[in-house]
Structure formats: C-alpha cells, structure tokens
Structure 1
Amino acid sequence: MIGKLEMLIALAKERHFGRAAETLGITQPTLSTGIKQLEEHLGVKLVLRGSRFGGLTPEGERALELARGIVRETRRLQDEMRFSRKGLSGQIRLAVIPTALTWASGLATRFNAAHPNVGFLILSRTSAEVLEMIGNLEVDAGISYLDNEPLGRMAVQPLYREKYTLVCHKNHALAGRDSVHWRDLAGLNLCLLSPDMQNRRIINRNFHDAGLTPNAMIESNSTVVLVSNVVSGDWVTVLPTDLARFLSTGHPLRMVPLDGGVTAHSVGLLAPHQEPQTPVLAALYQAARGLAE
C-alpha cells in the first residue's frame, strides 16, 4: 500500500505517467497498474485519464493530502526502527537555496563528524522549490529564507542573517572603497542571479529603495557564473557576505560592504513539523543550533 501511495504522490508531482514512473525507477505500465489497484482498494476514482494524465479528481486530491502524511509517518517509523538497531544511519536529503550552499556544507560536515554513518544529498534549488520538495517528500529538510515567504507548518531553526557585499575585480574603481551604497552601483556592468531566485528579488528591492532599476546584462542561477564574470571582465556582482568570501578566495577580487538597504533576511533550516522529530532530524537540528551559535 505504501508503494502505491508513493506512486500517487509522484504522479501528482510530475503530472505525467512516464516521468512519474521514471522518478520511481519503474515502468509506466507498473505505475498505471499500481494507481488502478489503489483506486480499486479505496473504491473511488483518483486520476482523470484520457490520452494523457488529466489531473486528480476531488477524491484524488484528498487522497494525495492523506498519502503524504501516511508516507511521511511511515518513513519516520522506519527511521526510528533503524535507529533502534543501528544508531543514526542513512541519508539526509537537503534542498538549499544557492546563496546558502556554504552553510549547507558546514552543516553536513559538522553532522557527519558526529554521526559518520549518515550521508547527505545536497541539492541547489530556489526557495519556492525548497518548500515544494519538502511538501512532496522529495527531500527531508531544506535551508531557505525564513521571513520572506509563507512557510506553512514547519519546524524552523535560524542559522544566520543575510548581509550583502559588492564583489569586483581588484583593479575596479570601487575596489579601494571601505564601503559603497546601493546607489553607487548605478551604471555599472551588473551580473546578478536570475529573477526566479529569492535572493535576486531581495536585491531588486534594495535597488528600488535606492531609486535604481538594476540593469543586469548577465543573469544566472549559478553564483559560480557570476564570480567568473567578475574575474574575467569589468563586471560586478552582489552576493551574501559569507558566500562572497568563499567564492572570492584565490581570485583577484575585492569585497566591498554595501551600506543601507532593507533589513537583512533570516536564513535557516526547515523541515515538516513533527512531535517528536525522527532521531536523524532531531540530531540535524541540534547540529544546526550549534552551527548558528
């Protein structure tokens, strides 16, 4: 039954039988048969079918909501039973906004040092995707903004407050400044994160408050691309200070603090609220508290 509920969750996410089957590592006929067996077991139609996936019926939407809770609790039970036999083991799947990847690395390293039988899968995703993946049970937890989007019923552990710095080549006209204001960036060759990123929307608000509209001729969802452009040309970018320090190391770059702007946003660890948490997630939150301190 749990396997068939996972099929329903995958189908609702992918909205395509072939893609859903691929994510589960099964064939499309196996998926179709599993969904039909689930419908027969429940006595209701869950999926609208035609020549292709047509969505979920009202009963399917309700079943999906309940299925997520059942699968989540089943995995929680499995984690607790595994803990009773082997101690902390397994893998933590973590979705992380790009600007917090250095913190994710620090958290994974700190956790693994204390619990060497637990591995990590760290995925770079937008803030919206982090919440979606947690809700769809694709990941166990995430690191994202805590005060910029509705989070729903989540267990939250703040890690840090995001502050911003200008990154420019060491020969740039602003490289020798002790600090710059957002309005000092007018007319510069900007390369910034793509507009689908929450960090970019925060940066845009800072520019707006300074009376500017950022004209970024190079945009990317990769911070590595941004820093590479700064290294190779007359470009500047804006990044959170911790990430800028990491990416600038070993390159002919300068970090110049940015003054003014909106209040720094809080970034932290997120996971579905459960009482009690699974042993692995409880230990992860303990590690996150230590890292924040």
Structure 2
Amino acid sequence: MLFRQLEYLVALSRERHFARAAQACHVSQPALSEAIRKLEDELDVPLVLRGRRYEGLTPEGERIVVWAQRLLADRDALKSEVGALRTGLSGRIRIGAVPTASGAVALLTAPFCLAHPLVTVEVAADLRSEDVLRQLRNFEIDAGVTYLHKGLADHFQAVPLYEERYVLLTGTADALPQRTSATWEEASRLPLCLLTGTMQGRQVLDEVFAEVGVRPSPRVETDSVASLFAHVRTGRWASIVPHTWLHVFGVPHGMRAVPMAEPARSVPVGLVTVVREPESVTARALREVAGRTDVAAALDRLPGDSVPQ
C-alpha cells in the first residue's frame, strides 16, 4: 500500500468525481483509477461504486477513507516533526474560519509567520461552523477559527480568542444618524441586508431578534461580510455586522456604526484544533501563538473617533 493510493482515494471522496480528483492530484484520470483498483485488490474489498460515472464509495470505502485521512495526517505530522527538529518548523498550515471571524485571523497569522518564517499559511475563510469542525475531523485543515459552544466535542480543544459583538451599520443619511446605540427592535424595521440563514453568524442574530419578539425580513442575503459593507455603501440598506470587521474596514466614509443594545449580545469565538497524540507540531505552534496573543484587545483598537469601543 502506497501513500499515493490513499491520497487518490481521499481526493475522490472529497471531489466526488474521477476527473476532478485526478486534476487535484496532478495525475491523469486513468492513473488515478488504476491506483484505486490496485488498492481494492490489496485490501480485497470494493471501495468505489462504479457505473457510467462516479456513484459514491461503498460502505467499506467510506471506512477506509477515514483511516486514509488519519494515516496521511500522521505522515504529514511526522514530516513536520522531523523538519522542526532539523531546521525549525516548516511546511504548511491550513486554517479554516467562519466568514464573521475571518477578519480576525490575520491577528494570529502575522505573529505566527513572524515566529516561524519557514511555514506558509493557507486560509479558507468562507466555511460554515459545522464545516470547520468536519474538516478538522477529516484532517482537511489543521486549525479552525469558529464559534465556541458548550456542545463542542471532547476530541476538540479550543483557545478562546474574543467575544463577538454586533453593530448596526447604516448610511449617515439613515433615520438613526445621531444615536449612540440601536435596539434590535429598531433594526428590524430597517431595510436590512444580512448573512444567509444557513450561517451560524446569522442564526445568532435571529435568536436575539426572536428573544425581543421581532422577526426581520431582509431584502438581501449574502454569505460574505464584505458584501454587507458593499450593500450598505449604496445607501439603500442597513446591516448588523460583527465588530471585528470594523477592525478591518474601520467605518467607511458615508456610514455609521453603533453598538446593538437591548439586549447587548456577545458570542465566544476561538481557535479550535483536534485532540490527537502525537499532536501536529504546526497546530501546536499556532495554538501557542493564540495563547499569548491578546486578540480581543487588538480588535478593540478600532480606527476613527466615531467607532464604538
């Protein structure tokens, strides 16, 4: 059994298409198919449901993929460990983040890259919270920045980073230009642009709206926080955005940002990694950086006098 065969099987499981899996692995489709056939012969079980096109993995294939992901992750961790012993930490670390937290990821990657100049960082910043945990379990990413909750499974460990708060973002010509805060009931009456309902960042907002007995009817929904800012800039919409993004954009010209009140609500966000032994040296190094970086304080240092603190 070769690691290459396991890589092909994992790629096929992820891409769900022979041609795309082959492209992802930089080989021809016949080469990938033949390698997986040889793996089936060696294991003496069918791994792939074959027809005119890819139809999925067999139950045995689904179980083998789990083992393959674990073996490949252990191989990569071993290489990183040996490299760190020889020349210092090197290689690549993959970080997944929910969109609302992606603006804060740079507060970790900057000191991490400074401490480990031979490591490159890959950030996937448009994941749903459940996707972050799934990709961590499947060893598709090394660390995630996402919402923390009491139901976080025992095989994850988390470093709290900050409490996500919310601000109402409007144009300066809006009906509430002079207010120093806004209530959720007031916000529900505005022409809102919000995140899509499948995203946990939006679900948090919906829970608060329901708590005060109102239900917003956003005319525009998007999966991008940057898109929320772009829509508010047109002067037609208002939005409720995480305060972390004011650290990225400030309060753009022609807009105002005021804290949401009655109730004031915050949600914990943290760095999440998988509990494993031996642990990935890159994931451990990132967690150490997170532990000594005051992300919350950095996010409170927002530009502009009109930005809420």
Q: TM-score, normalised by structure 2?
A: 0.88
Range with bigger deviation, 145-154 or 195-204: 145-154
- From 177, 195, 219, the counterpart of 2:221: 219
What's 2:136 paired with?
134
What's 1:39 paired with?
40
Q: What SS is found at the alignment partner of 2:190?
A: coil
What's 1:208 paired with?
210
Whether 1:6 aligns to 2:7 is yes
What's 2:49 paired with?
48
Over the residues paired in the alignment, what is the CA RMSD in angstroms? 1.9
1:261 and 1:44 map into 2 onto residues whose CA distance is 57
Range with bigger deviation, 147-156 or 217-226: 147-156
Pairing 1:29-178 to 2, within 5 Å after superposition: 29-124=30-125, 125-147=127-149, 150-151=152-153, 153-178=155-180
| Cα deviation 1:14-73 (Å, max 9, x = unaligned) | 222122222222221111111101111111111111112222222212212211211111
Is 1:191–1:217's contact at 8 Å kept on the other side of the alignment? yes
**Which residue type is aligned with residue 108 of structure 1?**
T
- Mark the runs of 5 or more structure 1 residues left unpaired by the alignment: none
Identity %: 36
Whether 1:259 aligns to 2:261 is yes
Is 2:172–2:254's contact at 8 Å kept on the other side of the alignment? yes
What's 2:242 paired with?
240
| Cα deviation 1:134-169 (Å, max 9, x = unaligned) | 233332211111217655622211111111111112
1:261 and 1:33 map into 2 onto residues whose CA distance is 60
Instruction: Describe the shift of the 1:120–1:221 C-alpha distance in structure 2 as closer, same or farther (beyond 3 A).
Output: same
Count of residue pairs brought into register by the alignment: 293
Is 1:9–1:136's contact at 8 Å kept on the other side of the alignment? no
Is 2:70–2:139's contact at 8 Å kept on the other side of the alignment? no
- Mark the runs of 5 or more structure 2 residues left unpaired by the alignment: 296-309
2:87 and 2:112 map into 1 onto residues whose CA distance is 17
Whether 1:19 aligns to 2:20 is yes
In the TM superposition, residue 227 of structure 1 has moved relative to its aligned partner by 0.7
Instruction: Describe the shift of the 1:251–1:104 C-alpha distance in structure 2 as closer, same or farther (beyond 3 A).
Output: same
In the TM superposition, residue 262 of structure 1 has moved relative to its aligned partner by 7.9
1:205 and 1:189 map into 2 onto residues whose CA distance is 19
Is 1:161–1:265's contact at 8 Å kept on the other side of the alignment? yes
- From 229, 232, 245, the counterpart of 1:230: 232
- From 289, 292, 295, the counterpart of 1:290: 292
What's 2:186 paired with?
184
Instruction: Describe the shift of the 1:6–1:80 C-alpha distance in structure 2 as closer, same or farther (beyond 3 A).
Output: same
Instruction: Describe the shift of the 1:90–1:183 C-alpha distance in structure 2 as closer, same or farther (beyond 3 A).
Output: same
1:155 and 1:132 map into 2 onto residues whose CA distance is 14
1:92 and 1:7 map into 2 onto residues whose CA distance is 21
Which ranges of 4 or more aligned residues in structure 1 deviate by more than 6 Å?
none
**Which residue type is aligned with residue 102 of structure 2?**
L
Q: What SS is found at the alignment partner of 2:273?
A: strand
Instruction: Describe the shift of the 1:180–1:112 C-alpha distance in structure 2 as closer, same or farther (beyond 3 A).
Output: same
